[in-house]
Amino acid sequence: MGSDIIRVENMEFKILLSEAAIEDILKKLADRINKAYAGKTVDIVIVLKGGYVFGADLCKLLTFEHRIHFVKFTSYEGLKSTNVIRNDVQLTEDIENKHVLILEDIIDTGQTMDHFLKQLETENVASKALCTFLLKPESLTVDLDVEFVGCEIDDAFVIGYGMDYNELYRSLSSIYQKI
């Protein structure tokens, strides 16, 4: 699957971001985050499942002390959001008075992150920031403050680099966009 165009069931996807482009975006993102958190210890919350690849790659580039936690929300079926957010894995660690950085693979409507940020309001954290690898600004239905954005993209369905179609294609090293 190293082609510029791949077939998934009856759909075609074209390459949006190559592995080299992803690495470049990661380095730039890590530089900004390292400057923002220099000298601090940060609790990083990676949103599963899609965020696992991005989170792992980004954390390798971070130069400050950090702990890693996971949460999991479900809101997609096939190509569309169901607009119903299920919290499948909850944050169980104490994050009170800690700096929290949330890592998300892609922000589409923003509903899931809005839901999670509202949950965090009761945690009395020292600071919280949101980082996403991909942002679809045209798709946002809520007002979100996303401090760190790797790349803005159009409102198209994407797979690869942790992002899936029906739980498949997460392991593609490039990101493909539905044609």
Break the chain into its structural domains and give their ranges.
Answer: 14-166
Confidence (pTM): 0.90
74/110: higher pLDDT:
110
79 pLDDT more than 70: no
- Catalytic residue among 24, 57, 94, 108, which? 108
**What's the pLDDT score for residue 119?**
86
What class has domain 14-166? Answer: alpha beta
24 is catalytic: no
**What's the pLDDT score for residue 106?**
96
113 pLDDT more than 50: yes
**CA dist., res. 100 & res. 163, Å (int):** 23
122: helix, strand or coil: helix
C-alpha gyration radius of the chain? 16
Percentage, residues of the chain above pLDDT 90: 78
